[in-house]
């Protein structure tokens, strides 16, 4: 049986959706695998919605917006670009292939381009195969990773970094300084890694009390690194000591208010 990918497509109202419509009215053939959702701007596609689609078994997600400089809302498409860049790094931590997510620019007059992109992305997803999160027997570890990724994507820290990237990299601060892109990328990578790990830990201790050593073993991390995350999570009121076995505290998750 031939694998037919299920792809979710978020298309901006002003350009890419019109491009898709042009492909249809011009009778340009393209695979019917993309389920199109029209949005007013690609910048309005929340990262959590994309992760939700992947967590529920979508084999791929594609976001299409206006070409840079042509956005109906000036910089909405550039905001989408920053979000997708962050999301790809976050998805990689879960173990799911980041190639299952793509961002493309399609104008209202590019019906042919829309068809070609759809064909290419469908072919790419077919090569990757069905999502391990599809069907009734989805990978439980991967699903937990996606839940942790969703929680991380909702975090204020990541949202603030994505929102301020252009300001930090392109504009000078009060001292006339600009942050190098590579420096910002490192800050973003470290933030993504930290928030993902903490949310993964939170999900684990929601199920049962665990020690630092047990958390480190499950996460394949150095216990010292895990302990640093525990300290931060306790300061945030996310975990507390449930009991002590021998000399090891066992931690449980606290309800987030």
**If one looks up domain 7-128 in CATH, what number appears?**
3.40.50
Q: Domain extents for the chain? A: 7-128, 155-253
pLDDT along the chain (257 residues), means of 10: 92 97 96 96 97 96 96 94 97 96 98 98 97 86 95 94 89 75 94 97 97 97 97 96 95 88
Instruction: Quote the CA–CA distance of 226 and 246 in Å, as a whole number.
Output: 19
pLDDT of residue 257: 64
CB atoms under 10 Å from CB of 246, counted, come to 6
CATH number (3.40.50.720, 3.50.50.60, 1.25.40.10, 1.10.10.10) of 155-253 reads 1.10.10.10
Query: Closest Cα to residue 142, out of 94, 212, 210?
Result: 94
Give DSSP secondary structure letters for the chain.
------EEEEEETTTHHHHHHHHHHTT----TTEEEEEES-GGG--HHHHHHHHHTT-SEEEEEEPPTT--TTSSHHHHHHHHHHHHHHHHHHHTS-GGGEEEEE--TT-HHHHHHHHHHHHHHHHHH-S-TTSSSS--HHHHHHHHHHHHHHH-HHHHHHHHHHHHHHHS--TTS----HHHHHHHHHHHHHHHHHHHHHHHHHHHS-B-HHHHHHHHT--HHHHHHHHHHHHHTTSEEEEEEETTEEEEEEPPP-
Q: Residue 135: its pLDDT value, please?
A: 81
Q: In this predicted structure, what is the pLDDT of residue 256?
A: 74
The predicted model scores a pTM of: 0.92
What is the rounded CA–CA span in Å between residue 102 and residue 4?
Answer: 18
Q: What is the pLDDT of residue 174?
A: 65
Residue from 40, 48, 253 nearest 158 by CA = 48
Same fold for the pair 7-128 and 155-253: no
**Residues 30, 23 contacting (CB under 8 angstroms):** yes
């Amino acid at each position: 049986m031939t694998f037919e990918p299920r792809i979710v497509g978020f298309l901006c109202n002003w350009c890419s959706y019109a491009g898709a419509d042009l492909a249809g009215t011009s009778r340009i053939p393209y695979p019917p695998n993309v389920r199109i959702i029209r949005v007013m701007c690609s910048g309005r596609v929340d990262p959590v919605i994309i992760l939700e689609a992947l967590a529920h078994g979508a084999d791929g997600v594609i976001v299409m917006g206006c070409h840079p400089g042509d956005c109906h809302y000036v910089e909405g498409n550039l905001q989408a670009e920053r979000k997708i860049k962050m999301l790809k790094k976050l998805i990689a931590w879960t173990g799911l292939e980041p190639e299952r997510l793509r961002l493309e620019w399609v104008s209202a007059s590019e019906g042919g381009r829309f068809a070609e992109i759809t064909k290419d992305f469908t072919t790419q997803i077919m090569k990757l195969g069905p999502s391990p999160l599809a069907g009734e027997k989805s990978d439980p570890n991967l699903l937990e990773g996606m839940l942790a990724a969703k929680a991380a994507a909702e975090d204020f820290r990541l949202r603030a970094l994505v929102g301020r990237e252009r300001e930090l990299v392109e504009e000078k601060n009060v001292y006339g300084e600009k942050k190098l892109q590579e420096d910002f990328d490192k800050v973003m990578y470290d933030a993504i890694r930290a928030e993902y790990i903490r949310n993964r830990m939170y999900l684990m201790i929601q199920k049962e009390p665990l020690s630092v050593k047990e958390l480190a073993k499950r996460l394949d991390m150095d216990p010292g690194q895990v302990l640093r995350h525990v300290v931060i999570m306790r300061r945030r009121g996310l975990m507390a000591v449930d009991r002590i076995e021998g000399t090891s505290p066992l931690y449980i998750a606290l309800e987030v208010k």
